[in-house]
Structure 1
Amino acid sequence: MGTSVKNLIEQDLISQLEERGVLLKYHEDLVKDYLSYYDIKRKLIADIKKRGVSVFYQNGENQKGYKRNESVSELNKITATMLKILSELGLKPPQKASDGDGGNADLL
């Protein structure tokens, strides 16, 4: 089994910081934050794939319908935060990397 996409992202970000000579504990902590947001992002995407962009609700016998899946707006917020972290680090997101199965996976 190959290296996970998350590990590849971490290696790439650390490598970029090392190349620039700015790898301090502060930067390492921001990379860890970025990876935590990455995990959240994957879960939000999985929820949207599973439940869709609209979800059924029922608040009683007569009060029911469809509402927007909150994971959609949360995904937008998480992605924006990830981009802010990369900006704070002075980095750009890697474009593509192998996902271990021979395909390509987006890293942001």
Structure 2
Amino acid sequence: MAQAESSKEVAQIMRSGAYRKIKKSLLEQLARSGNDDPHFSDMVEDYMKMYVTKELCSRDIEQRGVNVTSIGSKGQTVVHKNDSVDMMLKTNAQMLKLLDALGVKPDAVVEDDEELL
């Protein structure tokens, strides 16, 4: 992937509604728990960078699949696993560890009475 194309994708992810909602939710939870000092806010930034990485891996897997082909040194076609699969799994694991370190838990969902009908 070309550098300019990658930068466009990163910018697109960072402008997405999902990115903004996740970041806002994390910062709000930190504020509610009294852990909104700069150290913890910086950790949220780290989490969001991992979110971007995870999204890039997901897009790569969607585009190229879990197995990719390349041309070997002797000109033969070689099928190997897409490195984005392992990277995505490792990134998700780190994201979960960071949430735990921040003491962040999923927000409780409050349903409207209308949604229940």
In terms of fraction of residues, the more strand-rich structure is 1
The residue that corresponds to 2:98 in the other structure is 85
The residue that corresponds to 1:12 in the other structure is 25
Are residues 1:22 and 2:41 paired?
no
The residue that corresponds to 2:86 in the other structure is 73
TM-score, structure 1 normalization = 0.79
Q: Which consecutive aligned stretches of 4+ in structure 1 deviate over 4 angstroms post-superposition?
A: 93-96
Match of 1:63 among 64, 76, 95: 76
Q: Percent identity?
A: 33
RMSD: 1.9
Code of the residue aligned with 2:17 in structure 1: it is S
Larger Rg belongs to: 2
CA shift for structure 1 position 95: 8.5
Q: CA 1:64–1:95 in 2, change beyond 3 Å: closer, same or farther?
A: farther
TM-score, structure 2 normalization = 0.74
CA distance in 1, matches of 2:39, 2:75: 53
Code of the residue aligned with 2:57 in structure 1: it is L
- Would you say the 8 A contact 2:50–2:91 is kept in 1? yes
Gaps of 5+ in 1: 97-108
* CA-to-aligned-CA distance 1:5-57 (integer Å, 9 cap, x gap): 11111110011111111111110000000000101111000000000000002
Gaps of 5+ in 2: 1-15, 110-117
CA distance in 1, matches of 2:96, 2:108: 13
The residue that corresponds to 1:99 in the other structure is none
Aligned residue pairs total 94
Code of the residue aligned with 1:23 in structure 2: it is D
- Would you say the 8 A contact 2:69–2:80 is kept in 1? yes
Three-state SS of the structure 2 residue aligned to 1:38 is helix
In terms of fraction of residues, the more helix-rich structure is 2
